[in-house]
Amino acid sequence: MDESRVPAWGAGWPLYGRDEELGRLTRALTANRCSGLVVFGQAGVGKSRLAEECLAVAERAGFRAGRAVASTAAAAVPLGAIAHLLPTGVDLTDPVRGFATVAGAIRDGGDHRERYAVFVDDIHLLDATSAMLLRQLMDAGVITLIATIRTGEHATEAVQALTAGESVFHVGLDAFDLRRTEGLLNEVLGGPVGRSTVRDLHEVSGGNVLFLRELVRGALENHALTSDGEVWEAGPGADWTTVRLAELIRVKVDAVAGAGRDALEVLACCGALPLAALEEAAPQDVLTELERKGLIQFGTDGRRTRVSLAHPLYEEVLRSSVPALRHRAIQLEQAERIEALGAQRRGDALRIATWRLDATGKADPALLLRAARLAHYAHDHPRTLAFLEALPETHHDTGTRLMLGEAHFLTGGWDLADAVLAQAAQSARNEPERIAVTVTRTTNLLVSNTPPAEILDVNEAARAAASSDTVRELLLVNEGFIRLASGEPVAGLELLDLLEPDADRAPDRRMWLCAAAVRTLALVLTGRIGEAVRWAEHAHAAHVLTDEEARPAHPAVQQGTLVLALAEEGRLAQAAALCESVSVELARHSPLLRVLPALLSARTQWLAGHPATARRLYAELAALARREHQVKLLRIALSGLAACAAVLGDAEAAGNALAELDGMAGGAPGYFSVGEERLGEAWLLASGGHRSKARSVLTEAADAARSTGHITSEGLLLTDVARLGGAAGVAGRLASVAERCDGELAAVRARLASVLAAGDPSRLLEVSDELEALGAHLPAAEAAAAASGVWRRRGEGRQATAASVRACAVAEEHCEGARTPLLDAVRAAAPLTDREHEIAVLAAAGEPSKEIAASLTLSVRTVDNHLQRAYAKLGIATRRELAARLGQSGTVGSSGAGPGA
């Protein structure tokens, strides 16, 4: 890992995601009737950090500040927590005189400013005398209290009185949701974080900011969390724990003794359990107290009430402190309890097998087999492996080997998968088994980068040995999948079209579901977009209605292929949203299954003209492809990454991605595209001013796509030729693509090339509207920019300005700082706004965004957005360039201001 990329946080993390709460507190702080601010929340959600920021705001507003921390030890001594805030020698044996002395000393302190803000952390631990005195000072208007209270903790009556009343303002903090967790990670790590890593950290931390900080710190120290310069990613099975984190949790759980501790240890060793099982370890009042302390939580499972630990990290810490013999006894006791009740619920075999295997290293073979099937149906591949690898060899047959091979395949053990599946092929005794083994084995070989000819040989050998025409036809369909994945969509679709339209009439439903997802892809690549959408929806419905035992994968796989169809149909926003949900669903089951949504998410965002988002997604895809050794996908990812970086003006990053691409052995086309692996090369040339060379590269790539029948790739590449000044030469070809491809995106692209070639500004604006309606924001902005250019050359300034304003508006709202030749031309004539000019001058002088934000009372994000727009208008990418530009011209003219403003 590059040590220079490890962030330095100094005293702590920034306050993030609490703007709304901070705003409410600071507004209350300046209200006439406010005597106190109280922040409630669970431990670690950021109460103290928010309260500290409130105190800083108070100081900037003219308050004097004092701090105190309440604790159990200080509470044993009256005034122990706040003694340092009181005048020396004050006597409180006479409460009236003592209060007057304290109030007078505070009023006369410092430089005679009237207001005094006192921050008390963990005020629920404050002793009664301190609480009474602070309340008196608040009521007298001597102090404004800022305090934190941990939710669920018992507070004395005096503390309750201290925080009560209309003049005391309360704010509650919850744990972060996934969106806030992602935003905080991006900010503290100084760059985008992979979505799977964000989800892992959010799940493990539970959205608790304190835990999150320790998890990230530990992962950085252990080199489990690294950046490749584009995106921060954690490898599979990353160790998130740290000594400090374990101690933070241990302090919390070690405060529980007796029956409560027994209940926590049972949950740590066995996971979530029915309430009835826990009541044997601890009575209900003990469990209620554990819930109040935030250590356990209740949920429902059908008609049962289930109990689990309240946080994922509690299990690991608790388990590490349970002696091995007790751990074993707890698991075996729970296994025997469920067996005594008949083990009738669906998941009972899974739990019993897990506990017995964990406790003794073995279990009854029949139990292991039932558990393996349940895990397999639930797409829990690691547990499927664990159960089947513990199964004695004498109990294995074709079915278990097929399950084992699938589990190895989906967890990345391709060599192991092929060895097991080869055994399964030899032991297969009927045609359904032979089909299932062949399909799984050839898919595994495809993913493991085996040459297509060898994969076709395996399929053909199975087809030659088949005893019926039905089976031979099914294996022809499987050959269609192999040919599609090998870059032959037309030949692949001819065979995939042999697939029975109705899953209910298919001779092998499992085979049908596999082939159905692939057929959607083939339909899209060959331009049958409307049919692809209908087929994908039909296949997903059939997948959902299929019993778990017959499903080859999760139904979301069918929706993944639908994403590609929706994008080419011109429903880009819908495609992006669907892809996000598919990505979340499939990530739970297998790293390998994340590949498809990762690819389609990145491509969809590129089509939409969101280069910064697409860049992050292509970077994630590249990291995943490297880890999973997916050479074809890595080529696509690196090219897409280079194209996005070039469009964003980052030539160095684009060059680095292309250098890695050039250094890769072989040049096999991507699974779902041909020619698109040259997008990065073309856009880097264009960003350097070599548009003619860029058009040549794109034209060659489009020719390659046409030769293999990849119509959608051909259309994408030819459109970029048109955007880079070659519309006249490709308008006819794009019209031909639109005739062969029934997607709305292809039709609007053809119209874009036609009106660019004709130089018709009115029609360019019409096409701009059409593209924006589809969600293709960057081409929409470029079409308006082209219209502005035509009108400007004609001397029609009013129309030119109106089109320019429209182009800039679309680009600024959606296009994430994209810099293309068409946009740069219109931006060159667009002045900076007053605010952009003000921020640009400060940034050029070397002031960081945080200081600019503070001085202008803006958020850091707003400052950076204004800077990005100023960069785009000026055709630059860095503060150094900004300083040089402002230094050369004195100042940059802003709207409503002269050049010397």
Same domain, 746 and 778: no
DSSP string for residues in 803-861: HHHHHHHHHHHHSTT---HHHHHHHTTPPBPHHHHHHHHHHHTT--HHHHHHHHT--HH
Q: Is residue 23 part of a domain?
A: yes
Kindly give the pairing relationship between strand 304-309 and strand 273-274.
antiparallel
Same domain, 110 and 203: no
At residue 419, the pLDDT reads 95
CATH of the domain at 125: 3.40.50.300
Identify the domain boundary among 234, 251, 272.
Answer: 234
Q: What pTM does this model have? A: 0.80
173: part of which helix (H) or strand (E)? strand 168-173
Read off the pLDDT of residues 704-746 as tens digits, 9 standing for 90 and up: 999 999 999 999 999 999 999 999 999 999 999 999 999 999 9
Same domain, 84 and 131: yes
Same domain, 29 and 163: yes
Q: Band of the pLDDT at 383, cuts 50, 70, 90?
A: very high
Is the distance from CB of 661 to CB of 680 less than 8 angstroms?
A: yes
Same domain, 120 and 26: yes
For residues 287 and 883, the model is more confident at: 287
Distance CA 21, CA 39 (A): 9
pLDDT at 901 over 50: no
Read off the pLDDT of residues 741-785 as tens digits, 9 standing for 90 and up: 999 999 999 999 999 999 999 999 999 999 999 999 999 999 999
Query: From the CA atom positions of the chain, what is the Rg in Å?
Result: 32
Q: Copy the structure tokens of residue 800.
A: 């030119």
307: part of which helix (H) or strand (E)? strand 304-309
* 652-to-229, 493, 638, 646, 837 alpha-carbon distances in Å: 11, 40, 13, 8, 27
What is the average per-residue pLDDT within 288-313? 86
Q: Is residue 108 part of a domain?
A: yes
Read off the pLDDT of residues 492-538 as tens digits, 9 standing for 90 and up: 999 999 999 999 999 889 889 989 999 999 999 999 999 999 999 99
Is the distance from CB of 145 to CB of 162 less than 8 angstroms?
A: yes
Q: Is residue 524 part of a domain?
A: no
Q: Is residue 203 part of a domain?
A: yes
pLDDT at 239 over 80: no
Q: Is 641 strand, coil or helix?
A: helix
Distance CA 309, CA 297 (A): 6
At residue 893, the pLDDT reads 38
Same domain, 794 and 814: yes
Same domain, 60 and 133: yes
């400052």: which residue's tokens?
863
Neighbouring CB atoms inside 10 A of 383's CB total 19
CATH of the domain at 870: 1.10.10.10
Read off the pLDDT of residues 202-225 as tens digits, 9 standing for 90 and up: 988 889 998 899 899 888 888 889
Neighbouring CB atoms inside 10 A of 672's CB total 26
Identify the domain boundary among 146, 173, 200.
Answer: 173
**Of 793, 771, 791, whose CA–CA distance to 781 is shortest?**
771
* 759-to-139, 431, 700, 781 alpha-carbon distances in Å: 75, 63, 25, 16
Read off the pLDDT of residues 59-75 as tens digits, 9 standing for 90 and up: 888 888 889 988 888 78
């005096």: which residue's tokens?
158
At residue 894, the pLDDT reads 37
119: part of which helix (H) or strand (E)? strand 116-121
Neighbouring CB atoms inside 10 A of 160's CB total 13
Q: Is residue 74 part of a domain?
A: yes
Q: Copy the structure tokens of residue 44.
A: 């670690």
Q: Is residue 669 part of a domain?
A: no
For the chain, the domain total comes to 5
Domain that holds residue 718: 698-750
At residue 312, the pLDDT reads 81
Please tell me the total number of residues recorded for the chain in this structure: 901
Q: Is residue 388 part of a domain?
A: no
Same domain, 94 and 158: yes
pLDDT at 53 over 70: yes
Read off the pLDDT of residues 814-829 as tens digits, 9 standing for 90 and up: 999 999 999 988 876 6
For residues 671 and 592, the model is more confident at: 592
Neighbouring CB atoms inside 10 A of 323's CB total 9
Calculate the average pLDDT of the chain: 88
* 334-to-282, 369, 551 alpha-carbon distances in Å: 15, 20, 31
Same domain, 144 and 46: yes
At residue 889, the pLDDT reads 41
Q: Is 234 strand, coil or helix?
A: strand
Three-state secondary structure string covering 23-72: HHHHHHHCCCCCCEEEEEECCCCCHHHHHHHHHHHHHHCCCEEEEEECCH
- 244's CB contacts (< 8 A; 6+ apart) are 214, 217, 218
Q: Is residue 204 part of a domain?
A: yes
pLDDT at 628 over 60: yes
pLDDT at 6 over 70: no
Read off the pLDDT of residues 862-896 as tens digits, 9 standing for 90 and up: 888 888 888 876 667 788 878 876 654 433 433 33
Same domain, 879 and 765: no
Same domain, 821 and 866: no
Distance CA 235, CA 450 (A): 25
Identify the domain boundary among 783, 804, 830.
Answer: 830
Q: Copy the structure tokens of residue 298.
A: 């209740």
Same domain, 168 and 203: no
